[in-house]
Amino acid sequence: MEQKRDSFSGKLGFVFAAAGSAVGLGNLWRFPYLAAKYGGGIFILVYLILAITLGFTLMITEIAIGRKTGLSTVGAFKKLDKRFGFIGYLGCIVPFIITPYYCVIGGWVIKYLAVFVTGQVKAATSDNYFSDFIARPAEPLIWFIIFAALTAIVVMIGVQKGIEKASTILMPILVVLILGVSVYCITSPGAMEGVKYYLLPDFSAFSATTVLAAMGQLFYSMSLAMGIMITYGSYMKKEDDLRGSVRQIEIFDTAIAFLAGLMIVPSVFAFSGGSEEALNKGPSLMFVTLPKVFESMTFGGFIGATFFILVLFAALTSSISLLETNVSIICDKFGMDRKKSTLIATIYVLVVGGLVSLGFGPLSFIKILGLGLLDFFDFISNSVLMPIVALLTCISIGFFVKPQVIYDEVEYGGRKFKEKKFYTIMLKWVSPICLILILLFAVSEAMGWIKV
């Protein structure tokens, strides 16, 4: 059964809403810690190259598929070619893996917001503050439940309009604040070395892991290879400029990630000495570093609180689009109404996310492939499933459905597809080959067949 879909009001509305989904913890929390860990400048370089090649190709493809069919993932692939419905199903698994742990981190953001609002910044600057916090059984669980509940409430009430409006106002404020804070950070004593580390590529730090990490991050950050952009594309108006919108979303998403890194990585040098250990903090990096930065500022408590409110908002617009995807999958698949589906999706998120949250404390003995629960879910989605979905998307569209379908969509209304040749080569050859190589590498590494 085909439903009538709402369209976003004009191109800017679509760009902002898609950017609201794309810009989130991936940019603010995940990108900086990966950049710090994988050699700074070299990671940024690899990421940028991937963004303008693979990222561009996939996003154009997904949004075009969505707009062409007017359907979300499973339906969209089926409509293009009956045999490919399974790619849609595979893509659907990803949001189910990401949403629970996304909400756990969202909970950490609320916790830090509370820390700043209640003036406990000083305590939060101590090195063990964060690790002690996540190791407690109940506290992180409570913040996680609050975040998941906030997300669920918005989804329950029905969203698109709300997301669109709120992101239009809050995103620009977030950008200005990050800009301000990063200027402060890079001018702090000792930060220069960090700026160099962040901006100048050190080619000796390059390895296949850098590419794997950057690629997983690209999918995650741009909400690619999981059907979300297909769904967003299905809401896009026919007369809007698809190619231009993709460019804008990409630039916006990358710029925010880049700035977030510029704020956090040099601070690691200025406030924690830039040792290997300090750079290798992984998921905790933002929470360990930023309190030190804000504590050193005049009005830091206020600025920090404002910052975490905006991060919370960015995280919510993303988690909403994640949960929304889960809900619509349950709705479509089991023919349930929206309320029931939201309830089921939320219960699922609470159970799995609860385990992830406890995985840092009472359940920390659980290790899969040598990884803790959060890192395991993160690995399975970003380094395994998403490359597979991306690969299948490229091959199915490139060789079976044929790229003409995408050209028609991009060129609709007499628009130009300037990168058509480049796009085609990327879609049919370069992307699939790179994706296969990187997948082989990811699996070998996880299985311990190779050591890096």
Measured from the CB atom, the residue of 229 and 288 that comes closer to ligand PHE is 229
Options 22-30, 109-117, 301-309, 440-448: segment touching ligand PHE (CB under 6 A): 22-30
Residue 314 CB, nearest approach to ligand PHE (Å): 8
**Distance (Å, rounded) from C-alpha 116 to C-alpha 122?**
9
* 328 contributes a contact to ligand PHE by CB under 6 A: no
Calculate the alpha carbon distances from 312 to 153, 315, 317, 433 in Å: 15, 5, 9, 38
**Distance (Å, rounded) from C-alpha 302 to C-alpha 117?**
8
Options 34-42, 64-72, 314-322, 344-352: segment touching ligand PHE (CB under 6 A): 314-322
Options 21-29, 127-135, 258-266, 350-358: segment touching ligand PHE (CB under 6 A): 21-29
Count Cβ atoms below 10 Å from residue 62 Cβ, excluding itself.
30
The candidate with the shortest Cα–Cα distance to 352, out of 326, 389, 387, is 326
Measured from the CB atom, the residue of 178 and 195 that comes closer to ligand PHE is 178
Q: Would you mind telling me the total number of residues written for the chain in this entry?
A: 452
* 26 contributes a contact to ligand PHE by CB under 6 A: yes
Residue 137 CB, nearest approach to ligand PHE (Å): 27
Task: Please list the alpha-helical segments (H only) found in 31-84.
Answer: 31-37, 41-50, 56-69, 73-80
Give, for 16, the enclosing helix (H) or strand (E): helix 10-22
Query: Which of 58, 322, 350, 390 contacts ligand PHE by CB under 6 A?
Result: 322
**Distance (Å, rounded) from C-alpha 167 to C-alpha 40?**
30
The candidate with the shortest Cα–Cα distance to 384, out of 152, 329, 345, 392, is 392
Options 16-24, 160-168, 364-372, 386-394: segment touching ligand PHE (CB under 6 A): 16-24
Tokens for 58, please give them. Answer: 């996939």
Residue 280 CB, nearest approach to ligand PHE (Å): 22
Task: Please list the alpha-helical segments (H only) found in 222-337.
Answer: 228-234, 242-272, 276-279, 285-295, 300-334
Measured from the CB atom, the residue of 195 and 213 that comes closer to ligand PHE is 213
Options 18-26, 144-152, 201-209, 404-412: segment touching ligand PHE (CB under 6 A): 18-26
**Distance (Å, rounded) from C-alpha 88 to C-alpha 332?**
13
* 61 contributes a contact to ligand PHE by CB under 6 A: no
**Distance (Å, rounded) from C-alpha 333 to C-alpha 88?**
12
Measured from the CB atom, the residue of 34 and 191 that comes closer to ligand PHE is 34
* 383 contributes a contact to ligand PHE by CB under 6 A: no
Calculate the alpha carbon distances from 109 to 24, 197, 434 in Å: 12, 27, 35
Instruction: Give the DSSP letter of residue 418.
Output: T
Instruction: List the interface residues with ligand PHE, window 27-46 (CB under 6 A).
Output: 27
Tell me the backbone φ, ψ of residue 158, rounded to 5 degrees. 100, 135
Q: Which residue is nearest to ligand PHE (CB)?
A: 26
* 214 contributes a contact to ligand PHE by CB under 6 A: no
Say which residue the tokens 């404002």 belong to. Answer: 306
Options 52-60, 198-206, 216-224, 417-425: segment touching ligand PHE (CB under 6 A): 216-224
Query: Which of 125, 151, 188, 221 contacts ligand PHE by CB under 6 A?
Result: 221
Say which residue the tokens 């400048």 belong to. Answer: 41
Which residues are paired to 368 by β-bridges?
A: 371
* 234 contributes a contact to ligand PHE by CB under 6 A: no
Measured from the CB atom, the residue of 27 and 289 that comes closer to ligand PHE is 27
Tell me how far the alpha carbon of residue 108 is from its chain's centroid.
16
Fill in the amino acid letter for 169: I
Residue 114 CB, nearest approach to ligand PHE (Å): 21
* 24 contributes a contact to ligand PHE by CB under 6 A: yes
* 25 contributes a contact to ligand PHE by CB under 6 A: yes
**Distance (Å, rounded) from C-alpha 380 to C-alpha 58?**
20
* 125 contributes a contact to ligand PHE by CB under 6 A: no
Options 19-27, 160-168, 326-334, 427-435: segment touching ligand PHE (CB under 6 A): 19-27
Query: Which of 151, 182, 223, 272 contacts ligand PHE by CB under 6 A?
Result: 223
Give residues in contact with ligand PHE (CB under 6 A): 21-22, 24-27, 98, 220-221, 223, 226, 228, 318, 321-322
